[in-house]
Structure 1
Amino acid sequence: ALGAAPPAPPVELREAVAEIARHSMDANPEGGELGSNGWAFGRDATPDGHGVLLGNPHFPWNGTNRFWQLHLTIPGEVDVMGATGGLSPVVSIGFNKDVAWTHTVSTGKRFTLYELTLDPADPTVYLVDGQPRRMVARTVEAPMPGGTTLRHTFYATDWGPVIALPRAGLAWTPQKAYALRDANTLNVRSVESWMRMAKARDVAELRAAMGNQGMPWINTLAADRHGQALYADLSVVPDVSAEQLRACAPSPAAAVLLNAAGLPVLDGSRSACAWREDASAAAPGRIPPARMPVLVTSDWVQNSNDSFWLSQPDVAPMAGISPLVGAIGTPQRLRTRSAIREIRARLAGGDGLPGDRMGAAEARSVILRDRNLAGALVMDDLRSACDAAPAGATGPGADVLAGCRALAGWDRTSNAGSRGAPLFREFWRQARDVPRVWRVPFDPRRPVDTPAGLDMATPATRAAVFQALGDAVAALRSAGFAPDATLGEAQWREVRGQRVALHGGDEFEGVLNKLESQGQPRIAPGGYRINYGTSYLQVVGFDDRGPVAQGVLTYGQSSDPASPRAYDQLPLFAAKRWLPLPFHPEDVRAQREGPPLTLDYGPP
């Protein structure tokens, strides 16, 4: 995208909308949408008055974004345990003796695009407040195989580098060009933030430790042994208000293109459209911590990658937050709704577990129940429509009827033994995109409960839903599975010659324990090739000594398939078993398998 060169031909609007949606930026260069569940409970929600923290990041199972477990100590300064990813040398999700924390990917925007108005006589000159400014050209060379050299000239503006995605409508024409300003440019503060967090003694100190705004694109949820819980989005976001977004709206064509993917674009011909600068921010043009959403409570908070709006759904949403941080009053992803439903049911004593508190044991149980919220929302209507369908030539085809029979006995979970779960996944993968599929539309006054149901009373919707069911049956049969196959038959991983059946569901199913086959659009022969989702799991409570933690790293501590540590924890995860995480020195000594790695950076 940065390989811009002036000028380029225009592109059809429909192609542009599709292309810019495809190029919407997320935090995962390896593909897929990074996500997580994070829950934190304070003294009013736990059985012993201490805090409880659940961390459940959903990340790739290989590549640079996989996790590694570690216990980092600096004598007399730091004692912190947990996991890290992205080749970071410090604990990014974990706990010390007083506080535990996790992260989820935030909805905040990390950049804005600026639409440039060019000098008609020179496409490398742009106008700001009517005055010309020349782009700065820099030619870069890179050696290529065969002894050739690749050369390209990049162009920079005061708004950032010029980018070009011609098929996305971001073409460099004689009249317009586009520059990208990235809020995380030169942000190398995350390691410092995590080291400060490692020393925190409660959630207040943890919040203060993030004051340098080193968290590039993540929320933080935390709980401490004193019984306080924290939700905070202190990530890096451009300081642009709702008023400024309206006042700096670009040309209508650019607005259509960019709003299709939710990308903010500002008018680069006016200096008034520059990011605001607040001296209390860690870097110029970023929203300072005081104007980002933070909630400290003795009750509970949660996040499953939606905005701050429902981080605690029983309190009023935080006011005065820039729309670039996140939206209020919009439909929530099914995982968010599932998390809130499960937490509320637990604290009401209505979920089948003893009592009405969320201790560490209850959190471990709830997160791996594998309830399928999409199934809970639509199956009653689907079954009723199946039962009411006419028989014979005027009724549904054989595949639809086979699907109706297979789903009649489905338990509406994504457990490994759940019969019919693969069929529902393939059905809902298609049916969720049927226009006006929901019987009850989204209501911002009932965001946890809506949308819901299937609109089977509308003939076109009913026909499309039945078509999706028949197509799902055909997809399973084509892949070699019966319509009533169990999830474990289709979703598994081989570990040292043994097939390990896996529980968990796809993002669109609303299963908290998310497992996905990235790059696999439908079920294939052999089933689902799981390569993404639940990775490092931790639940941390506290007693008078400090943390009491259990966890599991689904794919183990080695990325070498020949290593005994590769996927050695996957059978534990499959059996919904957790490993104690030894934090205290005596526990570490009892479970140590080898000497610690000591790094000495002192003088020789």
Structure 2
Amino acid sequence: MRSVAAGLTLALATLAVGTSVSMGSGAEAQSASKTSFGGGEILWDSFGVPHVYGKTEAAAFYGFGYAQAHNHGNILLRMYGESRAKAAEYWGEEFAKQDEWLIGNDVPARGLAWYKQQTPQMRADLDAFAAGVNAYAKANMDKLDPEVRQVLPLTGVDIMTHAHKLMNFQYIASDRRVLVNPDTNEAGGSNAWAVAPSRTTSGNAMLLANPHLPWEPGPLTYMEAHINAPGMAIYGATQVGLPVMRFGFNNDLGFTNTVNTMLGYTSYALTLADGGYMFDGKKTAFRTAQKSYKVRQADGSLKTVAFTQRYAVQGPVFDLPGGKVTVAVKVAGLDRPGVLQQYLDMGKAHDWAGFEKALRQMQVPMFNIVYADRGGHILYLDNGILPKHAEGDVKMWSKPVAGDTSKTLWTDVHSYDEMPKVKDPVSGFVQNANDPPWLSTWPRVLDPKAFPAYVANVGPVSQRAQMSVKLLSEGPKFSFEEFVAKKHEMRSLMADRMIPELVQAAQGNSDPDIRTAIDLLKAWDHRDTADARGALLFETWASIFSPNNFTDQKNYAVKWTIDDPLQTPRGLKDPAAAVAMLKQAVAKTKQLYGAVDRPYGEVSRFRVGDTSVPGNGGFGNTGIFRTITWEPMKNGERKPRAGETWVAMIEFGTPLKAMGLMSYGSSSQPGSRHMGDQLPYLSQGKLRTLWIDRKDVEAHVEDRTAY
């Protein structure tokens, strides 16, 4: 057994040595190890955002690695340990099944192979990023959780393997999604807008990036940064652990992502026979490989767990819980190692031609991509590595299909040209709020019938997405300030539709609870603001009327239809029953919140660490664009589970305008002054200026790190 202490000794022995003199005068001026990566400097602004200036591209990656370790070292190292499929070895039995899933799918081995397939420049970049993490750790080991130090040192292979694990085996084919519930969403949600010059008063294109991922620190936590090197100046955000921007902009263009429903894997239900399986009428033997992993025991010793991994013609084989169904899993894109390269090339492009060249690489396995540029172009792309099938729809291919026939075995994927996309529509805008592609602009220009049924469901389209379309349809033109105001709209589309119906249905009802509720709802402006006194009651009624996270349409008089996509669902199927639900909601609201008219922000709190401020925004499925998914009540309040994480709003004028916010702050490290320091902005519905020009950065420097 190699002890934690021995692991640390090895880590320290292999980290870079030598330090430079800090050039900063801030309270926490930093210095990083001298390296062979070209040198550079990190300017830390007053919100803890690193502005990295590298003399070479690799030097910029080095600085970005250092910065990520500085702001999120604990979760960063834990994620890399998990992606190595050594989490059980480091932290115990609870990670054993996860490690076995990754090893069974050959993730660590493929991560190494992918690293070797990178260009020499990208390998140098990955090595530099890892070296930056290692250098921070060497200089600041006492600031890292002892549990995660054993993951050190990192190499470029670790960075590539983590990207592979995150993209292909968390977003696309997580063990929970493949083995337990195909409807599992590991990816969260997002909003995205791009507006053409024809719809803005300035005549400049504008972009909104607005992902809605979990607030709890982990693999989906965002890192904001500004990366500068020769030929590269990118501002934006990415998930901690990734060395490139997934949401970024430069002086000429910008792009963002939203989660789509891309079916990038297929499960095949096998028919077992004599230790093998049936395929095209013949008994076929499994190919097998002996694999193992280690599990740390309570006494610190390591137990080796060996297993035989079976492979069918489709891919690796797994038994579903209960043992009655055995599936083979085929994941698209395992032969496409360029996801990091594509994102980097997207950020380094400066016009539509360069950006589309990057898109055509088709290395990013899922996500809608929304784009705007200084030339006035805008784009919505339903992006992903999508298998080609001869038949079937989303419902069919999201569940295990017959694995005993070659008829279901796909061998090709769709090209860039075959994917749904809208470029420069007459409407002057594109949008996505995790809805299918069909309402990416309005009036609608994409016809579901023009694409295979497995590309995306026709609907229903969420009321959040409908509100998104409505906000952008208002006009005819708006300023950047109005663009920002639209993004902060807290009005519930569901309340707009249903409260007048409820009021009418309750006419003449003398029940005091009903009268109180109706008066409260009539006085409410349908916005989930901190001082709203009707918002909690309506939310509670809506959860009863439309269960399953406000998606069940059984109680609406008219269900959603693509022929009337912005006015449905609507109406009360049974008005009397809806009023009875209001009576239930009064009792439940009092039970949950202590009063039927409690101000929304008293119980809905933006809380990170010791910072707690009144909350606002609400559940997207009630038609609120400013999305906050609230956790259940605990200790007299509730806090966000997800929603409103990174926000960037850009106008491609001269000079460039850029506003943004990292809701939970720039750092997740214990004791950081930048954990939760941006919550007051979130509470007030404000954004901060994103400092891009060096002179503006210098004017707001908190610390400096030279390397």
TM-score class normalised by the smaller sequence: 0.7 to 0.9
Q: Is the 8 A contact 2:320 2:327 kept in 1?
A: no
Against the structure 1 CA distance between its residues 34 and 497, is the aligned structure 2 distance closer, same or farther, given a 3 Å change threshold?
closer
Residue 105 (str. 1) matches residue 266 (str. 2): no
Work out the CA distance in 2 between the residues paired with 1:597 and 1:375: 54
Q: 2:206 touches 2:650 (CA, 8 Å); kept in 1?
A: yes
Residue aligning to 2:598: 485
Residue 369 (structure 1) aligned with residue 489 (structure 2): yes
Q: Distance in 2 between matches of 1:21 and 1:379?
A: 42
What does 1:190-339 correspond to in 2, within 5 Å? 190-240=339-389, 243-245=390-392, 259=395, 263-276=398-411, 285-297=412-424, 299-318=428-447, 320-328=450-458, 330-339=459-468
Decide which of 394, 406, 411 is 2:525's aligned counterpart.
411
Of stretches 439-448 and 39-48 in structure 1, the one that deviates more from structure 2 is 439-448
The one-letter code matched in structure 1 to 2:622 is E
- The 2-side partners of 1:188 and 1:597 are apart by 33
Q: Which one of 595, 615, 634 corresponds to residue 502 of structure 1?
A: 615
- Tell me the SS of whatever aligns to 2:268: strand
**Displacement after TM superposition at 1:590 (Å):** 2.4
How far apart in 2 are the matches of 1:493 and 1:310? 32
**Which residue does 1:534 correspond to in 2?**
644
Q: What CA deviation, in whole Å up to 9, does each residue of 1:366-386 have, x standing for no partner?
A: 111201111112111111122
Q: 1:326 to 1:315 in 2, by over 3 A?
A: same
1:427 corresponding residue in structure 2: 541
Give me the whole-angstrom Cα distance separating, in 2, the residues matched to 1:196 and 1:590.
30
The AA in structure 1 aligned to 2:443 is D
Deviation of 1:268 after TM superposition, in Å, equals: 2.2
Q: Specify whether residues 334 and 480 from structure 1 end up closer, same or farther in structure 2 by C-alpha distance, changes over 3 A only.
A: closer
CA contact (8 A) 1:114 1:180 kept: yes
Aligned-partner residue type, residue 446 of structure 1? D
Cα pair distance change 1:265/1:542, threshold 3 Å: same
- Stretch deviating more after TM superposition (214-223 or 150-159): 150-159
Name stretches of at least 5 consecutive residues in structure 1 with no aligned partner: 5-18, 247-257, 277-284, 348-355, 599-604
> Which amino acid in the other structure matches residue 462 of structure 2?
R
| TM-superposition CA deviations, 1:365-417 (whole Å, max 9, x none) | 0111201111112111111122232x3xxxx5x55454334323221111112
The SS at the match of 1:40 is strand
The corresponding residue for 2:293 is 142
- RMSD across aligned C-alpha pairs, in angstroms? 2.7
Partners in 2 of 1:21 and 1:431 — Cα distance? 32
CA distance in 2, matches of 1:444, 1:310: 9
Q: Are the aligned partners of 2:442 and 2:473 in contact in 1 as well (CA < 8 Å)?
A: no
Alignment counterpart, residue 573 of structure 2, candidates 455, 465, 484: 455
1:132 to 279, 283, 286: 283
**Distance apart, 1:514 and its partner CA:** 0.8
3-state DSSP of counterpart to 1:212 = coil
Q: Which residue in the other structure is 1:83 paired with?
A: 237
Segment of structure 1 superposing worse, 535-544 or 405-414: 405-414
CA contact (8 A) 2:378 2:429 kept: yes
The aligned counterpart of 2:307 is: 152
Cα 1:26–1:436 shift into 2, 3 Å: closer
Q: Secondary structure at the match of 1:160?
A: coil
Q: Relative to structure 2, which stretch is displaced further, 139-148 or 290-299?
A: 139-148
Find the counterpart in structure 2 of residue 189 from structure 1.
338
CA drift of 1:508 comes to 2.3
Aligned partners of 1:152, 1:470: CA distance in 2, in Å?
57
CA distance in 2, matches of 1:89, 1:184: 20
Determine the C-alpha separation between the residues in 1 that align with 2:430 and 2:651: 15
SS class of match (1:595): strand
> Aligned ranges for residues 34-45 of structure 1 at < 5 Å?
34-45=188-199
Q: Residues 124-150 of structure 1: CA distance to partner in whole angstroms, max 9, x if unpaired?
A: 322222233211233433333155443
Report the equivalent of 2:108: none
Residue pairs, 1:159-170, within 5 angstroms = 159-166=314-321
Give the aligned partner of residue 95 of structure 1.
Answer: 249
CA contact (8 A) 1:537 1:553 kept: yes
375-384 or 447-456: bigger deviation: 447-456
Partner of 1:23: 181
Q: Which moved more, 1:587-596 or 1:82-91?
A: 587-596
Residues in 2 aligned to 1:265 and 1:163: alpha-carbon distance in whole angstroms: 12
The aligned amino acid for 2:312 is: T
Q: C-alpha displacement at 1:483, in angstroms?
A: 0.5
Q: Deviations over 1:296-346 (max 9, x none)?
A: 106210000011111113143156423332123x2211111110111112x
Instruction: Report the equivalent of 2:111.
Output: none
1:73 and 2:228 aligned: yes
Deviation at 1:473, TM superposition (A): 2.5
Partner SS, residue 583 of structure 1: coil
Tell me the secondary structure at the aligned position of residue 328 of structure 2.
strand
Q: Aligned partners of 2:478, 2:384: CA distance in 1, in Å? A: 28
> Quick one: structure 1 residues 201 and 267, their matched pair in 2 at CA, closer, same or farther if it must change by over 3 Å?
same
Q: Does 1:575 align with 2:684?
A: yes
Q: Percent identity?
A: 26
| 2:502 pairs with 1:382 | yes
Distance 1:236 1:309 in 2: 19
Residue 562 in 1 paired to residue 671 in 2?
yes
Indicate if the aligned counterparts of 1:171 and 1:178 stay in contact, CA closer than 8 A. Answer: no
Distance 1:99 1:220 in 2: 13
Give 3-state SS (helix, strand or coil) of 1:387's partner.
coil
How far apart are residue 290 of structure 1 and its match?
Answer: 1.5
Count of aligned pairs: 524
Structure 1 residues 186, 209: CA separation in 2 closer, same or farther (over 3 Å shift)? same
Q: TM-score, normalised by structure 2?
A: 0.69
Q: Structure 2: how far apart are the matches of 1:63 and 1:303?
A: 25
Say if 1:203 and 1:222, in contact at 8 Å, map to a contact too: no
Q: Deviations over 1:5-60 (max 9, x none)?
A: xxxxxxxxxxxxxx9997125552xxxx6110100011211222221001111011
In 2, the alpha carbon distance for the partners of 1:429 and 1:188 equals: 43
Unaligned runs of 5+ in 2: 1-96, 102-176
Instruction: Report the Cα offset of residue 553 of structure 1.
Output: 0.7
3-state secondary structure, aligned to 1:138: strand
The Cα shift of 1:435 comes to: 6.6
Q: Find the residue that maps to 1:114 and give its secondary structure.
A: strand
Looking at structure 1, the residues matched to 310 and 350 of structure 2 have their Cα atoms a distance apart, in angstroms, of 47
Measured after TM superposition, the shift of residue 364 of structure 1 is 0.8
Query: What displacement does 1:505 show?
Result: 0.4
TM-score, normalising length: structure 1: 0.81
Q: What residue is the counterpart of 1:584 in the other structure?
A: 693
Residue identity opposite 1:68 in structure 2: M
Q: Which residue of 2 aligns with 1:59?
A: 213
